[in-house]
Amino acid sequence: MDALTGMVEGLNLKAKLTYWGGVCGDWLMDHNSDHEIWFHLVSKGDGWVHSPTWVPPLKLSESDLVLFLPHAPRHVISYHPAHIPTDFSNVRVTTVNDGETGFVCGSFELGVPKAGWWKALPPEIVIRKADAGPALSGLLRLISAEAADPRFGSHAVIERLCDAIFVLAVRHCMEFKLADRQIFLALQDPKLEPVLTAIHRDPCHPWTLGSLCALSSLSKTRLSHRFGELLGCSPMEYLAGWRIQLATGWLRQPGVNLEEVAARCGYQSTAAFSKAFKRANGHSPGHYRRTKGCLRGAE
C-alpha cells in the first residue's frame, strides 16, 4: 500500500451522485459548497464555466471533467458562453440521448474541508479528454456509457464508478505538477512516504517520534525538519491532524459511539479525544455529531 492509497482509503470518500442525464434549452448548474468537492463530467455536447478564474468563460466539451473544491470561487455552468439564465422556463431535463448536453454530476463530502490536504489541490481541477490518461479515460467512458444506456441498477453502478474519480484526479494533479506542494509532494518523498503510509494505514498505533524515524531512516532532527519543510508541521502534529480528519468521518456513521471513535484514533480516553477534537475544530465531537457536518470554521 502506498501513501496515497492509504490516505484515500482512510478518508473513505464516497461519491454522492446528484444528476445524470441530458438537458436542453437555457440550462444552468449552480453547485457551490463549503464542505464538498463537486464534480461534473460532460458526457455529451458543451457547457461553459462562469467563474472569476476563467475570463472568458471556460468551455467544457464531451468527456471533459471538472472538479470544484470548497476553496473554489463561486461559479456556475451554463449552456452559453455569454449568458447566465435567470428564467428557467426554457429548460427541459431529458435523457442523455435526447439532450443537447449530457452530464454526470456528484460530490464528495469532506470532514475537514479547510485542511491542508484540500488546499494543496487547485480550487478548480479541469481534466481535458486528451489529458486524462488511460485509466481515467477508461473510467469516464464507462460512466458515460452507463449514463447513456441506463439499465437496472445504473444509479448504483455509476455512483460506485464515480468513487474512483477523486483519486485519479489527485494522480492527474500530481503528474501534471498541479499539486506539487504540502501533502502531495510529501507523498512522493522517498523518506516521508513510508512514514505517511504507516500513519495512514494504522492511525491508532501508539506511534512515537522514534518509531517514525526508524521507518524513514532519518534522525529525529532531520525527520522533523523534512516534515516542517513540506507539511508545515511536526510528524506528531501530522499524526494528530490525520486522526481528527478520520474522526470526522467516523462520527457521521450511525451506531459508532464516542468511545469507539476515540479508540480508533489512538486515544486512551474520550476526554483526551474530545479535547484534541475541540482544539482542532473549535467544537466538541458531540456537537459535530449532532449537526452532522456543520463544518464552517473547521480547520
CA 202 remoteness from chain centre: 21
Give pLDDT, residue 185: 81
- Helix runs in the chain, H state only: 3-11, 116-119, 133-148, 154-162, 165-175, 182-186, 193-201, 209-216, 220-231, 235-251, 258-264, 270-281, 285-291
Condensed to tens digits (0 to 9), the pLDDT of residues 230-262 reads 888 999 999 998 998 889 888 888 888 999 999
Report which of residues 7 and 299 the model is more confident about. Answer: 7
Compute the distance between CA of residue 98 and CA of residue 100 in angstroms, rounded to an integer. Answer: 7
Asked if the model's pLDDT at residue 294 lies above 60, the reply is no
In this predicted structure, the answer to whether residue 113 has a pLDDT above a threshold of 90 is: no
What are the pLDDT digits (tens) for 173-190? 988 988 766 777 888 899
C-alpha cell at 152: 437496472
**Of the candidates 28, 96, 27, the residue with the CA atom closest to the CA atom of residue 62:** 96
User: Where along the chain do its domains lie?
Assistant: 3-175, 189-291
Q: What percent of the chain has pLDDT over 70?
A: 96
Mean pLDDT of 24-51: 96
pLDDT at 7 > cutoff 90: no
Q: How far is CA 113 from CA 25, 30, 296, 297, in A?
A: 34, 19, 9, 9
- If you classify domain 3-175 with CATH, what class do you get? mainly beta
Indicate the fold that domain 189-291 takes in CATH: Arc Repressor Mutant, subunit A (1.10.10)
Mean pLDDT along residues 279-288: 88
Is there a contact between 60 and 47 (Cβ–Cβ < 8 Å)? yes
